[in-house]
Chain A
Amino acid sequence: MQLEQLLQKHFGYPSFRPGQKEVIEQLLNGRDTIALLPTGMGKSLCYQLPAYILNKPVLIISPLLSLMQDQVDQMKQFGEKRAVALNSFLNRQQKQHVMNSLHNFRFIFISPEMLVQPQVKNRLNQLELALIVVDEAHCISQWGFDFRPDYLKIGDVLKENRPPVLALSATATEKVLEDIRRFLKMKEPFEYIHSVDRPNIRYGKKIFPSKEEKTQWLLNHVSHTQGPGIIYTRSRKRTDEIASLLLELGLSASSYHGGKDAEDRQFIQQQFIEGALDWIVATNAFGMGVHKADVRQIIHDTMPSNVADYMQEVGRAGRDGKDAVAILLYSDGDEEVVRFIAGEDLPNEAQMELYDEYVRRNIHPKEMMHNGLISETSFRVLHYWMGLYPKEQVKSIFRQMVMEKYRSINDMLSIIKSEGCIREQLVHYFGQKLERKPEHCCEHCGIDYGEFLLPRTETHLKKKTFTWQIRLRQILLGTD
């Protein structure tokens, strides 16, 4: 049977999206493959179809527990019951049950820390797998923006006689690609790299002499143009500040950050998706797992810390394929704040000394975290490296990492400061060539914002206040 027929049979789609067919063909030929496909381009189909064709289990290594659960839930919603997530959320009994019936599953999602457990490793080695998939593969590279030390161990688990490996990611620079090939021990992999360019997004940029003028411009812009939109900021405080200013202007907006109550965060997402809320002012905590196709504007209140983050955040606009605008705001000295924050995420030298001291005094270094002397993220990274190398070497590794972060910030900054085409520079950053420039390409090529941004229509939404009895009835019974 042709691949298209199989696609129709198993998924009901008449044709592939760009890249899917190429990737699947290579995998069926037994070749290791790296696929860089933007979010929303059907990455998961690249391993789902081969699973049905080869009729053997597929192992999917995934970094985020919540993402993993989402994927399993989604598969189940579409009728695939033979999907399971092996992660630390399972209790011992559940884990044992899954382990015993592992061969019955078609899709086995697993976290990297679970993968290296001897019991799990042995069990997986007994299985005949169709494929090994490494999702969010850029996490393996310490040059990536999302480095997870646990990912490095994946390579150790792969035996000589293994099925093909598929590494998936949305964005990766050449340096990150190199790491993926090396740490996953890939053999002359086939690489499908989709253009990172999103032609329907226009890249705007505004430079201001001061933060006050920037804020003024932002408020004015948002009051006069139509959303829905997301405003990204760098701090919780700034997020709340802008949201309050917008609310005072009578706009429908809310702030969103990790400091909010979990239910509140859900309410905000739901209000935004359903159009009850026009603007979200968020830290980078917002976005993952939020599917809204008609976001028309993304505004960066300050510069992002690297180009990959920027692309990911901008990529949340115009998923419906219609025109969208991304505007980056910059005022002199913004990079100083970004540099300061970049250093904060990583363990500092005092913490490394302390770690050493804890070990010498026979106290588990984890206590540093419990004593509030280090953040959880920093500890995770520190613990990994201190387990591998002596202190002095770790110090120099981290010095290098900080330098690397600063370099990423400078890369972003030079795009902001340059007078060249923004789109071209973004695409070049990922080692790709821009095929075609759309009209109204970017700030430097010239954008007529009026073409893309509708003037804000004053929505005189009468705020209907219901009694609790009526609200309850509408929620449960749906009638007035």
Chain B
Amino acid sequence: MIFRYLVLDILKILQKERTISSPYHLLKGKRSGQTIQDVGIFRLHPYFGILPKLSRNKYDEEIQNLVEQHFIHITKKSFQLTEKGLRFLRQHEPLPLNGWQYRGNEHIFFSRLSLIVQSLSHAREEVMSFNPIQKDESVQQWVRSFLIKNHYKSGLLAHNLYDEMLQSLGRAKISEQAKEIVVKRLTGIRMPGFTWEQISRELEMPELDVQIMYVACLHQWLNEILVGKGQYPYLFEMAQDIRVEVPLTESAYHTVLLFRQGYSIEQISRIRKLKKSTIEDHLVELAINDPSFPIERFIKREDIEQVLKAVQHYQSKKLKFLHEALPHLSYFQLRLALVRGETVCN
């Protein structure tokens, strides 16, 4: 049900505008210009990269079900929700996800935490050798230095960490069930964790739904840890470099550095030996992420207003329509107006 809600909610936002594959790329967190722009244009930040391992088959199966059960119907170039689909959305609560900011890094946070918890659990009984739950060498090294730095042998660390976890997870704004799931994925001495399948059978919920709740819970928990950092020093340390503060792709980042030094698009394109349109993609990406981006340098205020009016009038954000209606504006200008126009005019 949760996966269905997610897919339908994205479909509702993108209906008549995009192809049926767009939600798939969004959930997988595809780093293409189109997907990243859609995040900005349609405000899809919560859902970006929530299910990086989602298989195309699984997604197609869900779409098939939605069509067969008349939640959506596919049109020639796009698709549309039916009344039944809209009703379904109204009857369900959205999950508090934050995909854009965490970008899958929530899993790094959890691997650190779970290995620390497993180590402390064994250290309590002076068992110094066990099969580590995390095999990734970089996670193991991180945890090793964390434990040594924080004098794990004293036993105090386990108590303090327990207090921090109890408090912060307690305050995280998400259901108790989601918290149960996260804690069931931890493992300790004589207390093995539970597999997705086992949790799914116990809660009588599909595995994919269990995993989405788990991700949502990690996001909310991380929010609490990062906001109340003074209160949770150990967890805050584990959450280092987890949130993406300037969430740009690597290449866009290099473009932005040059842009901020005052180079023009043409100059950057020459320096970086990249096509002009690629540089424009990067600047759109920056505009999505940085509220202080000087959009007026590229498009006049009146033009922005015109674009917004056209969106109202045609009830569409399709670039092709808008370009036909406002032929004097380039695709680049249109995209900037769509991404940031409202903030400039209001």
A residues apposed to B, CB below 8 Å: 66, 73-74, 77, 89, 247, 254, 260-264, 266-271, 274, 276, 465, 467-469, 471-478
Contacts and interface: CB of A to CB of B under 8 A. Distances in A.
A468 B198 contact: no
Contacts of A264: 195-197
B147 to A, nearest CB: 14
Contact of B195 (A73, A260, A465, A472): A260
- Chain B interface main SS type: helix
Given A254-B197, A477-B158, A472 B137 contact: no
20 contacts: A89-B137, A254-B195, A261-B195, A261-B196, A262-B135, A264-B195, A266-B187, A266-B193, A270-B187, A468-B176, A468-B184, A469-B170, A471-B184, A471-B186, A475-B121, A476-B121, A476-B124, A476-B159, A477-B162, A478-B189
A468 B158 contact: no
Contact of B166 (A262, A269, A271, A472): A472
A467 B131 contact: no
Contacts of A263: 114, 133, 185, 193
A427 to B, nearest CB: 33
B190 interface: yes
B304 interface: no
Contacts of A468: 169, 176, 179-180, 182-184
Interface string B109-144: 000001001001100110011010101010000000
Contacts of A89: 137
B191 A471 contact: yes
Contacts of A467: 176, 180
B124 A478 contact: yes
B128 A77 contact: yes
B82 to A, nearest CB: 35
Nearest to A261: B196
A334 to B, nearest CB: 27
Contacts of A260: 195
B191 A474 contact: yes
Contacts of B191: 471, 474-475
Given A254-B195, A472-B165, A475-B189, 18 more contacts: A73-B129, A74-B129, A261-B195, A262-B135, A264-B197, A266-B131, A267-B192, A267-B194, A270-B131, A271-B192, A468-B169, A468-B180, A471-B184, A471-B186, A474-B191, A476-B159, A477-B162, A478-B189
B98 to A, nearest CB: 21
Contacts of B194: 267
B161 interface: yes
Contacts of B133: 263, 266
Contact of B117 (A262, A274, A465, A475): A475
A477 B187 contact: no
A269 B180 CA distance: 22
B87 interface: no
A269 B131 contact: yes
A261 B199 CA distance: 14
B127 to A, nearest CB: 11
B56 interface: no
Of the listed residues A74, A89, A270, A465, the one surrounded by the most CB atoms of chain B closer than 10 A to its CB is: A270
Contact of B198 (A254, A471, A475, A478): A254
Nearest to B162: A476
B197 to A, nearest CB: 7
A276 B188 CA distance: 14
B201 interface: yes
Contacts of B180: 467-468
B188 A475 contact: yes
Given A77-B128, A266-B187, A270-B131, A476 B195 contact: no
Nearest to B183: A468
Contacts of A66: 135
A255 B228 CA distance: 41
A469 B158 CA distance: 14
A336 B332 CA distance: 61
A269 B189 CA distance: 13
Contact of B183 (A261, A472, A477): A472
Contacts of A476: 117, 120-121, 124, 158-159, 161-162, 165, 188
A268 B195 contact: yes
